Amino acid sequence: MRSCIYCGRELAEGEKCSCPGAAARRAAKDGGSASQNTDTSTQYNNSGTNTQYTRNENGYYRTGYTQAENPLKRKWNRYKAKRQAAKSQRTPEMRGIFSYIYRFIKSPATEIANPRAFSMPQMLLIAAIQGAVIGLCVYFVNTGAPRGWLRAIANIIGFGGTTGFRSVLHAVEAALSGALGGGFFLLIHTGIFWLINRFIFRSRTGFTPLAQRLVLTNIPFTALAAIGVAFSFISTTTLMILLMCGALSSFILTYISLNEEWSSYSESRVLYALMLGYFILFTFIFSLLRVSVIGG
């Protein structure tokens, strides 16, 4: 019985071997041009080992074999590769969010025209952070509590006693309430303008793309509120002025984002739609406040 000169496999009468070396030899005989580059392929045999072939201008020839890889080692290498791939995918995503927010603070009017694509959990997280900072700032304005962290710590260690602990706990409560309110505000804010977009402008833009625009409108507001919280020497009056400026920036950015969304309509119509949306929003908020006051 004859065997293949390239791989050594025994062949039946009239059988042609299908190994790369024999296939390349037949292609060369049929007039095909052989490759000038040299590469290496691996073939497995029945014994569990693999054999390497190196291709040159004359076809393939055997260069030796390597033992089969340990199954445990192969699984471990596969696990490390998956873990490294998952880590490489997470890190650029978070860095991309932070770098985009930094660029947005530098040029909000430009970035709001072409917002970044966020997922709904990411938008809720951003809205919660915004609400926590703004809620903490509003707490300092309403209560006149010490705005410096050193003064708050001094109250805890003895200069304020129980009052100091209560101030810190109330501040944490205000931040948590603001975080929940921030996510709720995003849903209500986006929902109102989505209804206007759907039933007045007859546009089929989804809820999520519209939320990707509106979640960014409070970033300058949050930055100004954070400045008021961070610097303890800022007076209550200055803090209130910062909050007013931040609220004004949110209104302007909302108009810019909606004007980009409804670019096929006149700016006057967009302005009146904005006023209608905020009328509904403020009516809803004041109704909630009235219910909470009566219930309290």
pLDDT at 199: 94
Cα 3–chain centre separation: 60
pLDDT at 42: 46
How far apart are the C-alpha atoms of 160 and 171, rounded to whole Å?
Answer: 15
The per-residue DSSP string of 225-293 comes to HHHHHH-TT--HHHHHHHHHHHHHHHHHHHHHHHHHHTTTS-HHHHHHHHHHHHHHHHHHHHHHHHHHH
In this structure, which amino acid lies at residue 280? I
How far apart are the C-alpha atoms of 20 and 277, rounded to whole Å?
Answer: 71
Beta bridge partners of 40: 54
CA trace torsion 64, 67, 73, 74 (10° rounding): 70
pLDDT at 86: 61
Helix axes 162-199, 207-214, angle to 10 degrees: 130
pLDDT at 128: 95
In this structure, which amino acid lies at residue 105? I
Beta strands in 67-125 (DSSP E): none
pLDDT beneath 70: ranges in the chain:
1, 31-69, 85-95, 144-164, 231-234, 295-296
pLDDT at 47: 45
How far apart are the C-alpha atoms of 218 and 228, rounded to whole Å?
Answer: 15
pTM for the model: 0.63
Backbone region of residue 99 per phi and psi (left: phi > 0; alpha: psi in -120 to 50; beta: other values): alpha
How far apart are the C-alpha atoms of 80 and 75, rounded to whole Å?
Answer: 9
Beta bridge partners of 43: 51
How far apart are the C-alpha atoms of 240 and 53, rounded to whole Å?
Answer: 77
Both tokens of 143, joined, read 């209560």
